[in-house]
Amino acid sequence: MLARDLSINPPDHKKFFVKCMCPGLTSTRMTSQVGHSPEEGADTAVWLALMPASACTTGKFFMKRQEKSTEYAEELFEDLRSSLKT
């Protein structure tokens, strides 16, 4: 994952931030309208985008405005992959 790699080897310049986030199960045609609203799914992405540079870190994973471990992200993505196969 790019975000995890950047947390280990951050870029030299300070104005470059990479964050990874999951919108959670969001109600769309792809999910057969199952899940929360698209607005709820976008909330963390908007929150991260509007975060002031002084509060920014790079290489982190977020869900519902909370930092999560990369292990949590890997488990989450595997669960999502499995649920889409059924």
Per-residue pLDDT tens for 6-49?
Answer: 666 666 655 667 788 888 888 888 888 888 899 999 999 999 98
Give the residue numbers spanning the domain of 80: 2-14+21-85
Res 13: pLDDT: 59
Res 34: pLDDT: 83
List the structure tokens of 63: 């869900």
Q: What is the DSSP string of 59-75?
A: SEEEETTEEE-HHHHHH
Domains in the chain: how many in total? 1
Res 6: pLDDT: 65
How do residues 65-81 score in pLDDT, each as one tens digit?
Answer: 998 887 777 777 787 77
With beta carbons less than 8 A apart as the criterion, state whether 42 and 24 touch.
Answer: no
Res 11: pLDDT: 64
β-pair partners for 66: 63
66-68 sheet: strands from edge to edge: 19-21, 60-63, 66-68
CA distance 78 to 21: 15
